[in-house]
Amino acid sequence: MVFIPAGKPAELLHLVSPETLAERREHQWTSGLFSLHCMCSWRPNARRTARRTYTVEYYRRKITSLLGWMKEQGRDRLDEQTVRDFLAFRSQTENAYTLHSTYRALHHFCRWCLQNDLLQDDIMRRIKPPKREHLMKPALTDDEVKRCLQACEGNGWLRLRDRALFLTLLDTGVRIHEAGQMKVGDLMQDAILITGKGKRQRIVHLSPFTKVAVWKYLQACPAKPRGDEPLWWDERGPLLTDGLKQVIRRIGERADVHLHPHKLRPTAATMCLRAGMGLEYVRRLLGHSDYRMTMEYLALVDDDLKEAHKEYSPVTQILGRRQSR
């Protein structure tokens, strides 16, 4: 079996000639050419969903994992059974949502192959997408938030940055890659324009407390970024999305809290709802296109209502008094 030959992708493109494609199509693609096209040619169809760069790269990583698995298994054909076996293999380590994302990546890639005459049959046609269980997105407790803030204490500029980033995510409910869009000059504005999923734009605001935390970080940052330069830095330069994720995870490790960046979105939502913010404002704050996702966060607040009713129920007050006599 031939896999990716040695050399740079640009030097291998001559292998992908029309004659080669016609010849390989009859054999449902051997892994070498399959791999080459995955790395050099595939671009998921962005017309319908306006996918951002990170989504495209996420899908490409999924396909790369498929190729690695095929090599380990000694398989040189991309067919329906290969896809089914790969999904079964991934189901051992992936939850329902992640497995569904793997399926979507395979679906888009196989459709691209079909449209470009690299596959004769739609091998995904009879493969049903994995069922996604409804998972309630957990929020941090007040105690966990306090412990995370305590984990950011210190005079070093990196701890000041950690505190500023944590407060920004909690204050605005932005996604981690949206926080990576922020520029130093945004702090000079009353509102920050964020471009989210599907290139939908929204406005977010920083509280005075968060602004002070960010300014303290910027004053201590050795890079002294300004204007249109990125807001978040470490010793090596501006932080990208993966770097920001690592910062948040390390805060959680120091605080002994299971923390990942997306966990701060439901935390921000539930805290706003508990404080009395209207559902429409929460939806706009988070950048949801409809109320379906926002209602999931509202369900977390319903637990508060349950506890409050348990304590203040009129029937409990009346009958409880009788039983206590």
Instruction: Report pLDDT digits (tens) over 233-272.
Output: 999 999 998 899 999 999 999 999 999 888 898 888 888 8
Predicted TM-score of the model (pTM): 0.63
Number of domains the chain contains? 2
- Give domain status of residue 134, yes or no: no
Judge if 182 and 69 occupy the same domain.
no
Domain containing residue 277: CATH number: 1.10.443.10
Q: What average pLDDT does this structure show over 12-37?
A: 43
Regarding whether 86 and 146 lie in a shared domain, the answer is no
**94 and 182 inside one domain:** no
Give tens-digit pLDDT for 178-221: 999 899 998 888 788 888 777 788 888 899 999 999 999 999 99
Clarify whether residues 90 and 211 are in a common domain: no
Which carries the bigger pLDDT value, residue 63 or residue 56? 63
* Same-domain status, 62 and 171: no
Percent of the residues in the chain that have a pLDDT greater than 70, as a whole number: 71
Say if 274 falls within a structural domain: yes
176 shares its domain with 269: yes
**Are 161 and 86 contained in the same domain?**
no
Q: What is the pLDDT of residue 33?
A: 44
SS3 of the chain: CCCCCCCCHHHHHHHCCHHHHHHHHCCCCCHHHHHHHHHHCCCCCCCCCCCCHHHHHHHHHHHHHHHHHHHHHCCCCCCHHHHHHHHHHHCCCCCHHHHHHHHHHHHHHHHHHHHCCCCCCCCCCCCCCCCCCCCCCCCCCHHHHHHHHHHCCCCCHHHHHHHHHHHHHHHHCCCHHHHCCCEHHHHHCCCEEEECHHHCEEEECCCHHHHHHHHHHHHHCCCCCCCCCECCEECCEECCHHHHHHHHHHHHHHHCCCCCHHHHHHHHHHHHHHCCCCHHHHHHHHCCCCHHHHHHHHHHHHHHHHHHHHHHCHHHHHHHHHHHC
Identify the pLDDT of residue 302: 63
190 in the same domain as 81? no
Q: Do 161 and 105 fall within a single domain?
A: no
Higher-confidence position of 24 and 79: 79
Residue 324 in any domain: the answer is no
Same domain, 155 and 92: no
32 falls in which pLDDT band (50, 70, 90)?
very low
46 has a pLDDT exceeding 70: no
18 and 163, same domain (yes or no): no
Task: Answer yes or no: is 170 within a domain.
Answer: yes
pLDDT interval class at 144 (50, 70, 90): very high
Where in the sequence is the domain holding 59, given as residue range(s)? 9-115
Supply the pLDDT for residue 214.
Answer: 94
